Amino acid sequence: MYANHLKKVRQSLELSIAKMSKQLEMPASTLTSYERGERTPSVEFLTRLYKVFNINTNWFVSGEGNMFNKSYINNN
């Protein structure tokens, strides 16, 4: 589930893995492993995802609600 949600977020933002990982200040290989479902995202990652992209953590974890919190402004 997390892998699919992460990929949906990245595609929605029209970001490559390299660009998204740079904005999240993490290695692209880690982001790739999350997106492939090889690793489970950490709480720290979810916090960073929320802070940087204003992702609705409830949606990310459960699939319920909107992908982004209402106040999100895309600053690519």
**Is residue 33 a contact partner of residue 25, using CB atoms and an 8 Å limit?**
no
pLDDT greater than 80 at residue 74:
no
Cβ-contact 67, 56 below 8 angstroms: yes
Q: Which of 28, 31, 71, 27 is nearest to 51 (CA)?
A: 71
Q: What is the pLDDT of residues 18-43, one digit of tens each?
A: 999 999 999 999 999 999 999 999 99
Alpha-carbon span 5 to 63, nearest angstrom: 8
Q: In this predicted structure, what is the pLDDT of residue 1?
A: 81
Average pLDDT over residues 41-49: 91
Does residue 50 carry a pLDDT above 80?
yes
Q: pTM score > 0.75 for this model?
A: yes
37: left (phi over 0), alpha (psi -120 to 50) or beta: left
